[in-house]
Amino acid sequence: MRLRFLRTFVLFGDSSLDDDFYYRMSKKINKFCVMISSLFYQDNVVPLLLEEMESYLSLKNDNYVAMTTEEKLFEYLFTNLHDLPNSTSYLDDERMSKKINILRQVFRRLTDFYPILLANKTTTTTQYLFPRFQFIAHTFLQFYFDIWTGKYKPIYDADKYSSKVSSILIDIIPLELEVLYISTSKLIKQSTSTQLKRFVKQILKASPKILQNYLIHLQGHMVGSVAVNYSQTQSINVMIEFLLIFLTDIPKRFIHPDKLNDMLAHVSLLTRKISILMEESSNMNEADFSAPDLLQEIERMKGDIKQNFLKAPDQSSQLCFPMDDGFLFMNLLLRHLNDLLISNVYSVSLIKKEIGMVKESLEFIRSSFKKVRQTLDDSTSGVVKDCWLRALDVAYEAEHVINSILVRDKALSHLLFSLPSVTDKINLIAAQVTSLQLEDKNGDDPLDAKSSDEPIESTSSSFVEVTVGHEEDEAKMIDQLLNQHESELDVISIVGMPGLGKTTLAKKVYNNTLVASHFNVRAWCTVSQKYNKSKVLGEILQQVTGSKGKESEDDLAEKLRVALYDKRYLIVLDDVWDIATGEMLIACFPKVERGNRVILTSRSSEVGLKVKCRSDPLRLQLLKPEKVGKGSCPAELLDVGHQIVEKCRGLPLTVVLIAGVIVRGKKKEKDLWLKIQHNLDSFVSANNSLEIMQLSYDHLPYHLKPLLLYFARSRKSKRIQVSKLMQLWMAEGLVDHDIGSKSSLEEATQSYLDALISSSLIMVDHMLAEKSTHFSVMIKVCYVHDVVHDFCSVKAKREKFLKLINPGARFHASDFLHHRLTIHIEDGQLHKKCVLFNSKKCSAGSKHLISLKVSGSLLNSRYICHTRPFGLVRVLQLDSIELKDSLMEEIGSLFHLRFLRIRTGDVKAIPVSWLNLQNLETLLINTEYTMVLLPRILKLSKLKHVKIHRSCFFEKEEEEDNIQSRILEGENSKLTTLSHVVISYSEGTNDALKKFPNLQHLECTIRIHDDWFPKFDVLNKLESLFVKYPWKDYFYGKEYHFPSSLKELQLYRFVMIPDLLSAITALPQLEILAIRNSYFLEDKWDASEDIYQSLKTLTLQEVGFSEWEVDRETFPKLEELKIEYCEELTEIPCAFAEIETLKSIHIRIVNREVEDSAIEIKKQIIDFAGEDRLQVFLSGVLYELEAEEEDETEHFPITSLKELGLNDFPMRPALLSAIVALPELEFLEFIDYDFQRE
């Protein structure tokens, strides 16, 4: 193979070879000799070969080359091209293989045509092609030589290599177009040569593919390469897209060969014209740009195709669309059309005008029918209702037609016939709506009125907060948990119908101060109907030990037994559906006599009775009206409120949802409450919470309905991080937002979320999220009640809004008619008849799919996955598929993509094809290899959020010239979040940071280099910074540069030297400071002369220091102090008692002296301020200080206690008095208590 390369270059390369050439050739020859020697083991072979090769080189002269025919040149070049994939590792990349395959096909046809060209070289038609053939040949020749001699280095020059191949394609394909044009000319057609006619037949057969490949290549080349303004590139895009549709759907069977050949020749001419326009784009201006000619040419071709080639499609088969909630569909469709109009996707450009017309007409129709939306749900027919149904029908048809064109599914037929037809239908309906002169007939009855688009005030309702009840049940459960008579494991079951508050009661008991202090460890896990035993056990184990378990079920169960064996534990199993599940999980807990308890909640009384337990099940009763607190509503409406609760049939969830309706009402007056009281009977059923959920849903504004239905995509009781949920809502196109609006899209999304929270449909919580393998942070999450989730699941499926496919379930192509699809994988397997990644079977319906999520266990690598069918997908989450190069490249064709979450193995850079993703906003990648970000991340113009595990700006050992070239290639002004990036020392590092001028949140690891520290102050809009070193025993005298805009700073593995502390105190807006796994020099933090002027939260976790000096002015605005695992610290300075803003101190795993000092600070505040305003949490449990004048039984409301155990509980006189006051106490146990120290 390599000898063939050498032969070609020596014979046909540049005759003026320099000394460098002979030097490199001699090195290559020596390698050949070593290789030959190892193959033949004959001493005489190598010298002979060396002599022949040197002689061969010396013969390199014009006379020798002249003896070799030009035909041989093309034969040799084609052979070398065939050898190319085996000559370099670059071609392991599938996209490069595709390019080389195209080159090979084109070059094969040029090689076949060259003898014909030689035979007709005297004709004017072919004469001008000779120089172009020679130019292409020598371009190939030099390219081979550069590869062979190692010009492109594998580590750094993959992009340069790819760019060179693309450049050759741009040069060579126009030459093939010339060949195609000549092949269809009259001169060639009239020839009698059999060889020529055979070649013409072959090239015409291949021409649609030739043209298609070239046009696609041109599209890719235009991304960031063509320096013309929008109006100029737009016309080129329109023409390319039209030609691609024609070439994709060309009906060869129905067109006469001559007519087809003529049309292909015409398309070839147009393609040549586009190519010339692009070549001249650098010098192009409006005056000489012939855009109108291209657009007129499209219209001429449309007419010709309609008249001679195609017939209108058969409309006899009607598509089946959902017809339940027409306004919901209409709103979502209009948002979809609006997003298409503002996108910069090639396929949209062809029909952008038509999309705008459809959107305008449908907006008019929707706004007109909103006035009479109440009457549209009546069962009676009428002109108005019939008109509305026809409007919905044609709207569904419009969506189908537009999506089909965009994904090129029978696009030519839809473009020429269906789209004009559906546009005419919409215009006719709009005219009829105008003639109906619809007037507003909507009433304002709060329970009869249907939803509107009116905004909701984001206020909370005190009415909602006090309707939990079950105080007696709570006291009874606490007694059962603390009962020392029952030392054996006991299961306490809470059973009852949905909506009774089982989980709420269990949560209150679980978080009770006495309960939390009584047990060594606690764990909470939601089981649900379809549960995964390994996952449940893993969650419990993580809460018990702090580490994740990834073993088998049996191994997890054994580890859990060992971890719990010597502890008194409390475990909550929430939402258990059957007896077998409960008994199987409880069997994993050790049965030692330590007073261990399990709380189990279930809808089934049978589960509560038959799961092994000693206590009787607690059956929740319906809430009584008198249980409603007096602070729930204004005094004058208290009677009405009680009657509303009574009509809610005692269901706490129903009361909460009705309260949400009240909150959404425009009037907060007595008549509103009275109307609800009067009309509630017809909506509430004691046996079906879904009816009241339907009522609450009906009264949501239409712009909030899809946001609520989106929760059906997650598992029941699943907590979703608020920031991620908002990103998904925006990416899905579920948030209305006008470009000219004063508020940002993010602000609009936040207001929607607040509205749903205030409607009591979404609940907000906080939970620990693993930030790294070393620590976790608290994040804000939200979720919905199980009843709300059940309702959303049914409603979303009925509306084809989304569909959830569980493990092992069969699904078909029809499932892709849903706009959103979630597939959960178990054990790495898909159903044997799965059509998910079968492009032929799923393409029919996939045109409607805009969101795909595949989650669960990692998919078995034997499955071949493709994303090509999902052309309109905006959200793609493939957490359970490890993507290879080929699939990564395919993603680059999903032009509408906005949110991408994937897992990949050995991909080391963002693929070139991703430059097409000009609508991408969020990129989340879990990768095993460090991924290089620059320069491609700079060219994704709408990218806002990037979180790539193991990413870097450039390679660690990369040369400075290469780094500088990466940095010069653009700027990303939209990026606001960048996480998990490794920052290395380079002269270009600070320049790289400047490429993200609007970055607000940065998480990075600094690669150590002498005394270097990045100049973060170049990021003058940065608000949150998390910086980590690889290890903490490293420091030099550095200059620390932080931007003055910082509000949050987290430092990990730092040495807290004076220069660093000075840089931090100089930050005027810093509100949150976290120091983790770090230490102070000389084991001391002297902050007595420093002022952290805006700091509100200070976190110290695993920080090495024992002495701490603080002045009352050091933290003037501090509200929260967290100290965890600081085992050397001796006390918290008493100066904290003088900080008037201090609200809470959280202590975990520290010396007892630190706990005592926190309690002493609490006492001092009471003495100074006369109020108990400081909360002290010891290992997550709120410490309550007993004053002498307070009721001594405050800690022990259960006076019947006979046994009491206190585990590491602070001992105070008032507590001892409370213990003495227990009349029936027989057994008292102190665990882990140091009496001598006390």
Residues 6+ apart with CB under 8 A from 1213: none
**For residue 172, what pLDDT band results from cuts at 50, 70 and 90?**
confident
CA distance 511 to 507: 6
Highest mean pLDDT among 34-43, 471-480, 586-595, 745-754: 745-754
Q: Which whole number is the average pLDDT over 56-81?
A: 57
Say if residues 647 and 684 touch (Cβ distance below 8 Å).
Answer: yes
What does the DSSP 8-state code read for residue 910?
-
3-state class of 529 per DSSP? coil
| Alpha carbon separation from 889 to 453, 1024, 1067 (Å, rounded) | 41, 33, 44
Position 895 pLDDT exceeds 70 = yes
Neighbours of 1020 (CB within 10 A): 13
pLDDT tens-digit readout, 286-339: 444 455 567 778 888 888 887 766 766 665 444 555 556 788 888 889 988 988
- In whole angstroms, how far apart are CA 440 and each of 6, 260, 367, 444, 916? 84, 57, 11, 11, 46
pLDDT band at 1174 (very low <50, low <70, confident <90, very high): very high
Half-sphere exposure of 681 (CA within 13 A, CB side): 3
Residue 749 has a CB neighbour count (10 Å cut-off) of: 22
Say if residue 1219's pLDDT is above 70: yes
Q: Is 127 helix (H, G, I), strand (E, B) or coil?
A: helix
pLDDT of 942 over the 80 cut: yes
Average pLDDT over residues 240-246: 83
Kindly tell me if the per-residue pLDDT of 1081 is higher than 70: yes
Query: Which range among 371-380, 418-427, 910-919, 948-957 shows the weakest confidence by mean pLDDT?
Result: 371-380
**Distances in Å between the alpha carbon of 701 and those of 355, 365, 704, 928?**
26, 18, 6, 45
Residue 43 clears pLDDT 90, i.e. is over it: no
3-state class (DSSP) for residue 1228? strand
Q: Which CATH class is domain 470-620?
A: alpha beta
pLDDT in tens, 1003-1050: 999 987 777 899 999 999 999 999 998 876 666 657 899 999 999 999
* The dihedral formed by the CA atoms of 1044, 1049, 1055 and 1057, expressed in degrees to the nearest 10: 30
Beta carbons of 1109 and 1089 less than 8 angstroms apart:
no
Q: What is the pLDDT at residue 1190? A: 41
Helix, strand, or coil (residue 820) = strand
Return the amino acid letter for 1051: L
First-to-final CA distance of the chain: 86
Residue 1223: which pLDDT band, with cuts at 50, 70 and 90?
confident
Instruction: Quickly state the pLDDT bin for 15 (edges 50, 70, 90).
Output: very low
Sequence spans of domains, the chain: 72-308, 326-436, 470-620, 626-784, 802-929, 1186-1238
Kindly indicate the confidence band of residue 1189, based on its pLDDT and cuts at 50, 70 and 90: very low
Beta-ladder partners of 571: 523, 598
Highest mean pLDDT out of 261-270, 385-394, 656-665, 767-776: 385-394
Please write down the HEC assignment for all residues of 857-894: CCCCCCCCCCCCCCCCCCEEEEEEEEECHHHHHHHCCC
What pLDDT band is residue 1154 in, cutting at 50, 70 and 90?
A: very high
Please name the residues in contact with 633: beta carbons below 8 A apart, sequence gap of 6 or more.
Answer: 462, 463, 640, 641, 673
Question: For the packed helices 158-183 and 94-119, what is the interaxial angle rounded to 10 degrees?
Answer: 40
Helices (H), 699-785: 705-709, 722-732, 745-758
DSSP state at residue 1047: S
Between 698 and 527, where is the model more confident?
527
Mean pLDDT of 202-206: 64
Three-class secondary structure assignment of 981-1046: EEECCCCCHHHHHHCCCCCCEEEEEECCCCCCCCEHHHCCCCCEEEEECCCCCCCCCCCCECCCCC
State the residue for tokens 């108990």. Answer: 1172
Percentage with pLDDT > 90 across the chain:
21
What is the residue-wise DSSP string for 99-125? HHHHHHHHHHHHHHHHHHHHHTTTSHH
What is the four-CA torsion angle of 950, 953, 954, 955, rounded to 10 degrees?
Answer: -20
Predicted local distance difference test score (pLDDT) of residue 888 = 85
Residue 63 has pLDDT above 50, yes or no: no
* pLDDT recorded at residue 720: 92
Q: Phi and psi of 435, rounded to 5°? A: -70, -25
* Residue scoring higher pLDDT (112 or 801): 801
3 state DSSP class of 1204: strand
Q: Which residue has the higher pLDDT, 582 or 419?
A: 419
pLDDT of residue 756: 87
pLDDT value at residue 620: 47
Higher pLDDT, 61 or 113: 113
In angstroms, what CA-CA distances link 796 with 721, 791, 802, 835? 21, 8, 5, 22
Write out pLDDT tens, residues 593-631: 888 899 988 877 667 666 655 565 554 443 443 333 444
Q: What angle, rounded to 10 degrees, do the helices at 158-183 and 257-279 form?
A: 140
Per-residue HEC secondary structure of 322-355 comes to CCCCHHHHHHHHHHHHHHHHHCCCHHHHCCHHHH
* Weakest-pLDDT range from 256-265, 981-990, 1200-1209: 256-265
Check pLDDT > 80 for residue 39.
no
Confidence of residue 122 (pLDDT cuts 50, 70, 90): low
Residue 1046 pLDDT: 97
Could you tell me which residue, 1162 or 288, shows the higher pLDDT?
A: 1162
Provide mean pLDDT across the span 343-370.
89
What is the mean pLDDT of the segment spanning 397-416? 89
pLDDT at residue 40, rounded to an integer: 56
Q: What is the pLDDT of residue 621?
A: 46
More confident of the two residues 744 and 547? 744
Q: Which fold has domain 802-929?
A: 3.80.10
The DSSP output letter for 936 is G
The per-residue pLDDT for 1018 is 94
Least confident segment among 85-99, 414-428, 1159-1173: 85-99
pLDDT tens per residue across span 306-316: 776 676 666 54
> For residue 344, is pLDDT > 60?
yes
Does position 685 have pLDDT exceeding 90, yes or no?
no
pLDDT at residue 449 is higher than 50: no
CA distance readout (Å), 594 to 337, 461, 514, 946, 1019:
64, 43, 17, 49, 56
Q: What span, in angstroms and rounded, lies between the C-alpha atoms of 607 and 1200?
A: 29
Measured CA to CA, the distance from residue 1185 to residue 1171 in angstroms comes to: 12
Please tell me which residue, 517 or 203, carries the higher pLDDT value: 517
Beta-bridge mates of residue 979 = 947
Report the distance separating Cα 1135 and Cα 818, nearest Å: 62
Q: Which of 244-248, 362-366, 1115-1119 has the lowest mean pLDDT?
A: 244-248
In this predicted structure, the answer to whether residue 824 has a pLDDT above a threshold of 70 is yes
Q: Taking a C-beta distance cutoff of 8 angstroms, is the pair 461, 659 a contact?
A: yes
Separation of alpha carbons 456 and 294, rounded Å: 49
Q: What is the pLDDT of residue 1220?
A: 77
**Per this entry, what is the length of the chain?**
1238
Looking at residue 859, its pLDDT comes to 74
Q: Tell me which residue of 192, 193, 190 sits closest to 116, measured CA to CA.
A: 193
Asked if pLDDT for residue 793 goes beyond 60, the answer is yes
pLDDT at residue number 576: 87
**CB under 8 Å to 1126, separation ≥6 — which residues?**
1100, 1101, 1102, 1103, 1104, 1105, 1150, 1154
pLDDT score, position 456: 44
Give the strand pairing for 851-856 and 820-825. parallel
The pLDDT of residue 287: 41
Range of weakest confidence among 144-158, 702-716, 718-732, 1171-1185: 144-158
Q: Greater confidence, 668 or 1025? A: 1025
- Residue 1061: the pLDDT is 95
1071 has pLDDT over 80: yes
Residue 80 has pLDDT above 50, yes or no: yes
Q: Which two tokens stand for residue 17?
A: 């070879």
Average pLDDT of the residues of the chain? 75
**What does the pLDDT read at residue 1028?**
92
Helix (H, G, I), strand (E, B) or coil at 909: strand
State the pLDDT confidence band at 250, using cuts at 50, 70 and 90: confident
The tens digit of pLDDT for each residue in 159-169 reads 566 667 767 77
Q: Are 1115 and 1095 in contact (CB under 8 A)?
A: yes
Using alpha carbons, list the distances in angstroms from residue 1222 to 483, 1015, 1202, 1212, 1226: 14, 64, 8, 16, 9
| More confident: 613 or 1070 | 1070
The model's pLDDT over 1111-1146, given as tens digits with 9 standing for 90+, comes to 989 999 999 999 999 999 999 999 999 999 999 999
Predicted confidence at residue 142, as pLDDT, reads 73
More confident residue, 1170 or 1236: 1170
Of 403, 417, 421, the C-alpha closest to 339 is 403
Q: What gap in Å lies between CA 713 and CA 498, rounded to an integer? A: 20
Instruction: Say what angle helices 230-249 and 291-308 make with each other, to 10 degrees.
Output: 20
Mean pLDDT of 1195-1217: 65
Q: Residue 780's beta-bridge partner residues?
A: 766
Strand pairing category for 1097-1101 and 1107-1109: unpaired
- The pLDDT assigned to 289 comes to 46
Question: What burial class does residue 654 get, using C-beta atoms within 10 Å of its C-beta: 0-12 exposed, 13-18 middle, 19+ buried?
Answer: buried
Distance CA 14, CA 50 (A): 23
CA distance 3 to 71: 19
Nearest partner of 573 among 623, 539, 616, judged by Cα:
539
**Residue 574 DSSP SS3:** strand
